[in-house]
């Protein structure tokens, strides 16, 4: 449980009462009650109001609001307001303002607009965190500390430059080592002093900045942000050792290595803003990544929009019922909290048209408010039934930020390299069959799984190849793809042929990789029918030219100068086997392929279904809770079989076939 004193699903969201008068706040309380709100996050953006001048604090207004919330039995996810430093701070100490990659000093006015390495910023942030911790440590409604908001600003100021050099000294020890690891002899980039090392820049370079430096910069920024978080977290922990501390992650998760960033957090929390029209499997994958951050522990959906947003290119209204299906998608995948941005729509400012529980109309008689209230009542009914529930997936998928960065920083073989897109493609093939997937870190326990998929494992960190080899040896099924095993963790290529240390377990080596034009296709011709894969499939993106050692050919290329050469292979190894996909197959291939894999591994969806229905299971000490979610516009059917279940939202008994209309949700527990 996120906090053992809150044995319910957190329901509420970002609340900004400092924008409102007392009468409005009173009205809010009435409406919150109606909507079943039990938690609010505040005061995320109130630093300027809480500290009008350096060291002078004004907490009385917040005390009053906290009293009101307490009276209304609404708990608080207490934010330190450090995402938006006051103007006086930026003015008095310009060092807190960030410098962008082009070397431009940014002006005050944005939020998350500070240098995470600024000592002044850290000093003032820790100071206000301390004030808050001292003042509210005994506040009965305190459920968690939410530090700052959506970290993720890169800074290229002189101070960051200095700290980067120190960070490199620590990582590489000596200049000789750094020069070797970065291979600075190439293009004459040798450095004789740490002070000669420059931060990456997009200017002054005719081609690309050294990817090794860029990669280390991103690692450095992650570490710096982690320190910046820790700077406040340690203060909070000191005063309230039993209260969980975390920070919310932006849905655009690329910039910071979230595995590293969340290491010292008590739980993960993230902001889910799916792009209208994007497939549901994308938020599903992101939820699964969030669940992975703390190795399967429940996480918080800190934000989602109750309706349309304002910052998407086209801000579609959430369709009737959509907010509910999206919310349940998260809960079904491991979230114990369902929070929104924002509780009341602001009257002006950047996000005045962003959806809110209470809109400018200010009434409960809106479609959105009614939908939020319905969901609130349902979550209340669910109580703690799925809290702390885990997902016992049998398929694992490797995911790694360093790999992501290095792969995309690399020049060649194609400009269309998009790691997240690629991972999603493989993920989706399982998602559509309702086979649950756990996202795995390189350090995760692999042996719990029957199948491990490692899409584009370009960077093989120390020990990972050995772990994957042992996994297969013991009977696991491994799926590897093009762009695997090319570099080590310093982005240095492997000598002795790709995929380096994975060569034996895959039973092949890769001599060359051809990049296809976007519209260009080749084909995979199945040469050895082995179950589900039959006939011909199209492929594109990249085509590896392989040499098989112990692997056997499953499919071969249909054309080009490498026509007839293997592109899909299988290698029996120990008690298991490993597949290699040397090219990006069309989705139809992946559907057949996943069928074949699951058949071999004896993995089945919980229920058979017809139509687009998402089926997820969470299991806690009290048993399994099964979620059936139809996010589509069409109806769907699920076959429960002979067992009898209780439908938790209605109390009805269910067995046999269940029909789900568009946007229906059914939550079941075995009787
Ligand atoms: C982010 C922020 C919020 C708000 C929302 C709007 O996630 O954390 O403060 O700006 O976006 O979608
Ligand atoms: Zn900086």
178-194 residue pLDDT tens? 999 999 999 899 999 99
DSSP bridge pairs for 668? 626, 647
The alpha carbon of 226 and the centre of ligand 2 are apart by a number of angstroms equal to 14
The pLDDT of residue 23: 97
Which residue's CA is the closest to the ligand 1 atom numbered 5?
Answer: 341
Q: Tell me which H or E stretch contains 65.
A: helix 60-71
Nearest ligand to the C-alpha atom of residue 159: 2
- Catalytic residue, candidates 51, 303, 556, 584: 303
| Spatial distance between the Cα atoms of 328 and 665, rounded to a whole number of angstroms | 8
Respond yes or no on whether the N-terminal peptide bond of residue 633 is cis (omega within 30° of 0): no
Res. 42: pLDDT tops 90: yes
**Nearest ligand, CA 118:** 2
Of 42, 32, 112, 23, the closest CA to residue 72 belongs to 32
**pLDDT digit string, tens, across residues 246-278:** 999 999 999 999 999 999 999 999 999 999 999
Q: Of ligand 1's atoms, which has the minimum distance to the CA of residue 303?
A: 7
Whether residue 206 has pLDDT greater than 70: no
* Closest-approaching ligand to the CA atom of 121: 2
CA 164: distance to chain centroid?
A: 26
Read off the pLDDT band of 313 (50, 70, 90). Answer: very high
pLDDT band for 671, please (50, 70, 90 cuts): confident
Q: Binding site residues for substrate, as ranges?
A: 111, 149, 311
Contact at 8 Å (CB) between 235 and 126? Answer: yes
Name the residue of 46, 274, 307, 341 whose CB sits within 8 Å of the most ligand 1 atoms, as the mutation to test its pocket. 341
Ligand 1 mutation pick, 13, 253, 303, max ligand atoms within 8 A of CB: 303
Q: Rounded distance, CA 111 to CA 345, Å?
A: 18
Instruction: Note the pLDDT of residue 201.
Output: 84
Instruction: Tell me how far the alpha carbon of residue 341 lies from the centroid of ligand 1, in angstroms.
Output: 7
- Give 341-355 pLDDT, tens digit per residue: 999 999 999 999 999
Question: Residue whose CA is closest, atom 4 of ligand 1?
Answer: 341
Instruction: Dump pLDDT digits (tens) for 53-106.
Output: 999 999 999 999 999 999 999 999 999 999 999 999 999 999 999 999 989 999
Among residues 51, 95, 150, 556, which one is catalytic? 150
List of long-range contacts for 422-426, beta carbons under 8 Å, 24+ apart? 422/455, 422/456, 422/481, 422/584, 423/285, 423/397, 423/399, 423/455, 423/456, 424/281, 424/282, 424/285, 425/455, 425/584, 425/587, 425/590, 426/397, 426/453, 426/455, 426/479, 426/481, 426/590
Q: pLDDT at residue 459 above 70?
A: yes
pLDDT in tens, 479-525: 999 999 999 999 999 999 999 999 999 999 999 999 999 999 999 99
Q: What pLDDT score does 530 carry?
A: 72
Annotated binding site for Zn(2+): 115, 155, 157, 160
Q: What is the pTM of this model?
A: 0.98
Report the pLDDT averaged over residues 443-469.
98
Among all bound ligands, the one having the nearest atom to the CA of 113 is 2
Ligand 1 centroid from CA 65, angstroms: 22
Determine the pLDDT at residue 210.
Answer: 85
Does the pLDDT of residue 537 top 90, yes or no? yes
Give residue 591's pLDDT: 98
Q: How many angstroms does the Cα of residue 236 sit away from the middle of ligand 2?
A: 24
Nearest CA to ligand 1 atom 6: 341
Please check the confidence at residue 205 and state whether its pLDDT lies above 90: no
Distance between Cα 160 and ligand 2 center (Å): 4
What is the distance in A from the centroid of ligand 2 to the CA of 155? Answer: 4
Binding-site residues, ligand 1, Cβ < 6 A: 149-150, 271, 273, 303, 305, 309, 341, 351, 354
Annotated binding-site members:
111, 115, 149, 155, 157, 160, 311
| 207: pLDDT strictly greater than 70 | no
Q: What is the band of 660 on the pLDDT scale with cuts at 50, 70, 90? A: very high
Question: What does the mean pLDDT of the chain come to?
Answer: 96
Asked whether the beta carbons of 251 and 302 are under 8 A apart, the reply is no
Q: Among 445, 277, 443, 307, which Cα is nearest to 372's?
A: 307
Q: Which atom of ligand 1 is nearest to the CA of 44?
A: 9
Q: Is 303 a catalytic residue?
A: yes
Lowest-confidence region among 170-174, 185-189, 452-456, 473-477: 185-189
* Percent over 70 (pLDDT), the chain: 99
Separation of alpha carbons 191 and 48, rounded Å: 44
DSSP for 280-346 reads: THHHHHHHHHHHHHTTT--EEEEEE-SS--SSSSS-PPPPTTHHHHHHHHHHHHTEEEEEES-SB--
Stretch 585-606: mean pLDDT? 98
Q: Which atom of ligand 1 is nearest to the CA of 250?
A: 7
């Amino acid at each position: 449980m996120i906090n053992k004193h809150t044995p319910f699903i957190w329901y509420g969201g970002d609340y900004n009462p400092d924008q409102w008068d007392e009468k409005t706040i009173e009205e809010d309380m009435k409406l919150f009650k109606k909507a079943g709100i039990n938690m609010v996050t505040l005061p995320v953006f109130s630093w300027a109001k809480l500290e009008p001048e350096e060291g002078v604090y004004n907490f009385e207004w917040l005390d009053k609001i906290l009293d009101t919330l307490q009276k209304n039995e609404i708990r608080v996810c207490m934010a330190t307001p450090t995402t938006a430093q006051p103007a006086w701070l930026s003015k008095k100490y310009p060092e807190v303002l960030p410098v962008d990659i082009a070397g431009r000093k940014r002006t005050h006015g944005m939020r998350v607009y500070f240098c995470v390495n600024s000592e002044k910023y850290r000093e003032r942030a820790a100071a206000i965190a301390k004030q808050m911790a001292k003042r509210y440590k005994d506040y009965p409604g305190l459920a968690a500390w939410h530090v700052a908001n959506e970290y993720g600003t890169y800074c290229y100021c002189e101070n960051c430059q200095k700290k980067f050099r120190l960070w490199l000294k620590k990582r590489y020890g000596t200049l000789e080592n750094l020069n070797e690891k970065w291979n600075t002899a190439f293009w004459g980039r040798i450095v004789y002093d740490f002070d000669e090392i420059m931060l990456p820049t997009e200017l002054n370079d005719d081609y690309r900045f050294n990817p090794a430096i860029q990669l280390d910069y991103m690692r450095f920024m992650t570490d710096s942000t982690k320190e910046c978080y820790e700077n406040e977290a340690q203060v909070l922990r000191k005063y309230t050792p039993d209260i969980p501390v975390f920070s919310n992650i932006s849905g655009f998760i690329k910039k910071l290595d979230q595995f590293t960033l969340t290491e010292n957090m008590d739980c993960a929390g993230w902001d889910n803003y799916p792009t209208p029209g994007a497939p549901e499997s994308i938020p599903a994958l992101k939820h699964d990544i969030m669940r992975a951050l703390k190795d399967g522990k429940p996480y918080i959906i800190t934000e989602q929009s109750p309706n349309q947003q304002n910052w998407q290119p086209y801000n579609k209204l959430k369709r009737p019922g959509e907010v509910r299906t999206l919310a349940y998608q998260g809960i079904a995948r491991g979230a114990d909290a369902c929070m929104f941005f924002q509780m009341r729509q602001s009257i002006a400012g950047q996000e005045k048209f962003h959806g809110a529980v209470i809109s400018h109309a200010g009434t409960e008689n809106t479609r959105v408010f009614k939908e939020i209230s319905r969901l609130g009542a349902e979550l209340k009914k669910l109580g703690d039934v799925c809290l702390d529930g885990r997902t016992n997936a049998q398929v694992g998928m490797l995911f790694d930020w360093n790999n992501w960065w290095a792969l995309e920083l690399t020049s060649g073989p194609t400009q269309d390299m998009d790691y997240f897109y690629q991972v999603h493609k493989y993920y989706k093939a399982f998602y559509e069959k309702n086979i649950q997937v756990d996202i795995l870190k390189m350090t995760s326990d692999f042996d719990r799984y029957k199948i491990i998929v490692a899409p584009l494992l370009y960077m093989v960190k120390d020990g990972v190849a050995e772990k994957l080899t042992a996994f297969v040896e013991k009977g696991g099924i491994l799926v590897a793809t093009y762009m695997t095993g090319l570099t080590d963790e310093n982005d240095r290529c492997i000598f002795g042929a790709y995929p380096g240390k994975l060569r034996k377990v895959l039973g092949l080596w890769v001599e060359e990789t051809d990049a296809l034009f976007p519209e260009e296709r080749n084909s995979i011709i199945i040469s050895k029918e082995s179950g589900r894969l039959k006939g011909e499939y199209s492929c594109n993106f990249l085509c590896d030219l392989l040499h098989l050692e112990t692997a056997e050919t499953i499919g071969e290329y249909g054309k080009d100068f490498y026509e007839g050469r293997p592109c899909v292979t299988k290698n029996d190894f120990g008690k298991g086997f490993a597949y290699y996909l040397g090219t990006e197959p069309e989705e139809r291939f992946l559907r057949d392929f996943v069928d074949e894999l699951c058949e071999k591994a004896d993995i089945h969806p919980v229920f058979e279904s017809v139509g687009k229905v998402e089926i997820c299971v969470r299991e806690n000490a009290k048993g399994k809770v099964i979620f059936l979610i139809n996010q589509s516009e069409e109806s769907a059917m699920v076959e429960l079989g002979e067992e009898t279940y209780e439908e938790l939202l209605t109390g009805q008994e269910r067995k046999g076939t269940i029909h789900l209309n568009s946007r229906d949700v059914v939550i079941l527990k075995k009787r």
